[in-house]
Structure 1
Amino acid sequence: MAGDHDLIINERVTISGGDLQEQFIRAGGPGGQNVNKVSTAVQLRFAAAQSAALYPDTLRRLLRLAGQRATKDGDVLIEASRFRSQERNREDARERLAALIREALKPPLPPRRKTRPTKGSVERRLKAKKGRSQIKNLRGRVDD
């Protein structure tokens, strides 16, 4: 059962509202007097390192995916100022955080196995190279 402030990631993972902290700040850019008076931009801070909702390997992937948005303390900071209303920016920040966590929940791809080219493909490549070489050699000057 999710509370009002909980963030539902998928059917198995829900981020507690206590792990999320929102701060409303003034947004830059166009907007006239609205920009100077109203704090519409949102800074959403997720205390990922302290959250019990994520496994350690998922936490590592999340912090790596977050890049510059991750702090040294293990928090993920999302800023949203795309919209002019505070509520839409709040929804945007929460959805962006949820998308980032969903990406971190995906298991990593298996490591690439090294392969060698087949004997036939090597021979075909060398035959094609010799053919191109002969064509280019025939483009030279003709002696009279």
Structure 2
Amino acid sequence: MPTFAVSEEKNRWLKEKMAELGLREEEIEESFIRSSGAGGQHVNKTSTCVHLRHKPTGLEVKCMKDRSQSVNRFLARRELLERLAALDGGKTATDFEQERIRKQKARRKRKTALKYGKQS
């Protein structure tokens, strides 16, 4: 597995997560295209956008969040892992974030009801 321009800890996490989900590099088709958006002349000259396709499931991920191709390769793989986990029915980072926001809103609603009294 290639290493990317992120910390060793993140590279190790990616490798472990791929092994946990049974994802191999041979199953991923990777291509690079030119990005769009902010970044100026740099993104207009280099192919920093990463396009991944998981051959067995047909899932496709495109990532152009960073100006660095290596960082985008890492981010695209992380997104692909999250989508594969969602297909298996597991909880993803997005699910945890939505649950956190739902609890926060419920807590605020309770505090408001206590402060102003229940008004219908």
User: What is the TM-score normalised by the length of structure 2?
Assistant: 0.57
Change (3 A) 1:79 1:32: same
Q: Which has the higher helix share?
A: 2
Q: Is 1:15 aligned with 2:18?
A: no
Structure 1 residue ranges without an equivalent (≥5): 50-74, 108-144
SS in 2 for 1:28: coil
Q: For residue 37 of structure 1, what is the aligned residue in structure 2? A: 45
How far did residue 8 of structure 1 move?
Answer: 4.8
C-alpha separation in 2, matches of 1:95 and 1:12: 13
Coordinate RMSD, CA, aligned: 2.2
Kept after mapping to 1: 8 A contact 2:18/2:24 = no
Q: For residue 82 of structure 1, what is the aligned residue in structure 2? A: 65
C-alpha separation in 2, matches of 1:82 and 1:10: 21
C-alpha separation in 2, matches of 1:84 and 1:19: 26
How far did residue 14 of structure 1 move?
Answer: 1.7
Q: Equivalent residues in 2 for 1:37-116 (5 A)?
A: 37-49=45-57, 75-106=58-89
How far did residue 10 of structure 1 move?
Answer: 6.2
Percent identity of paired positions between Structure 1 and Structure 2: 30
Kept after mapping to 2: 8 A contact 1:7/1:14 = no
Structure 2 residue ranges without an equivalent (≥5): 3-13, 91-120
Structure 1 residue ranges (4+ consecutive) displaced by more than 6 angstroms after TM superposition: none
C-alpha separation in 1, matches of 2:19 and 2:50: 26
Kept after mapping to 2: 8 A contact 1:43/1:80 = yes
Give the length in aligned residue pairs: 79
